[in-house]
Amino acid sequence: MKLLEGKVAIITGASRGIGRGIATVFAQHGAHVAFTYSSSVEAAQVLEKELNALGTKAKGYKSNAASFEESQKLVDQVVEDFGTVDVLINNAGITKDNLLMRITEEDFDKVIEVNLKSVFNMTKAVQRTMLKQRKGSIINMSSVVGVKGNAGQSNYAASKAGIIGFSKSIALELGSRNIRSNVIAPGFIETEMTAKLPEDVIKEWRQGIPLKRVGTAEDVANVCLFLATDLSAYVTGQVIHVDGGMLT
């Protein structure tokens, strides 16, 4: 059974990692996928081909979600190409980790801009379409770090905590129009970024997780799938932890 048959989803930062996993699961469930990437042209082309091979319509767009103007243009283009937008997944994000005493103003600003301002930009850009059709699901990617904090990640934690406050506010603003806004807070997920970590660090993390394993992009994608479909029709303003029980 395809849970997203004919729905149109925009996924930011989907050429790799969690975003790629979400795009794949959505296409498998019949969604048409418009995804953005910032620099990985080859990876984006490969993904586009793979998604189209699943029998769905998919298209990659080189777009910087941190730019207000580019976000507006992107959504206009997607509506032109696909006809509408039913689901928005704000997944684009970066890290520039450092202790407060060493972090530069530029590194703080950049992480806030890419991780948090992009969520505002894209949500504002899809709002008109969703209001017109009186339905929509907005899913924003936060992190356990946004809930709990983490030494050496003050910029990242601030951006991810900001996403939670923003999403809850949007849930209150747009709920009467049947537009839902929820947050996923992933824990330790296996991606290209975590693949660079030494094995002993991963082992230590794993021991602190009640389910005793590292999460996969598919684990996150499946929760996204739930939030994008009518299975979660009465769920809005929530933060769902996909962390194997890390913050229990």
Q: pLDDT at position 201, please?
A: 81
| Residue 1: inside a domain | no
Residue 97 has pLDDT above 80, yes or no: yes
| Residue 2: inside a domain | no
| Residue 25: inside a domain | yes
| Residue 45: inside a domain | yes
Are 120 and 162 in contact by the 8 Å Cβ rule? The answer is: no
Q: pLDDT at position 195, please?
A: 74
Domain span at 25:
8-190+217-241
Q: Among residues 37, 61, 156, 234, which one is catalytic?
A: 156
SS3 (DSSP) at 153: strand
CATH assignment of the domain containing 54:
3.40.50.720
Residue 193: both structure tokens together? 């970024």
Question: pLDDT digit string (tens) for 199-208?
Answer: 888 888 889 8
| Residue 139: inside a domain | yes
Give the strand order in the sheet containing 32-37: 58-62, 32-37, 8-11, 87-90, 136-141, 179-186, 239-242
| Residue 212: inside a domain | no
Which residues are CB-neighbours of 118 under 8 A, at least 6 positions away?
12, 65, 66, 71, 90, 92
| Residue 211: inside a domain | no
| Residue 247: inside a domain | no
Return d(Cα 141, Cα 37) in angstroms, integer.
16
Q: pLDDT at position 67, please?
A: 96
156 an active-site residue?
yes
Confidence of residue 1 (pLDDT cuts 50, 70, 90): confident
The proportion of the chain whose per-residue pLDDT surpasses 70, expressed as a percent, equals: 100
| pTM exceeds 0.85 for this model | yes
Largest CA distance in the chain: 53
Confidence of residue 32 (pLDDT cuts 50, 70, 90): very high
Question: pLDDT digit string (tens) for 138-190?
Answer: 999 999 999 999 999 999 999 999 999 999 999 999 999 999 999 999 999 98
If one counts the domains in the chain, the total is 1
SS3 (DSSP) at 131: helix
- Mean of pLDDT values over 10-37: 96
Q: Residue 38 has what DSSP assignment? A: S
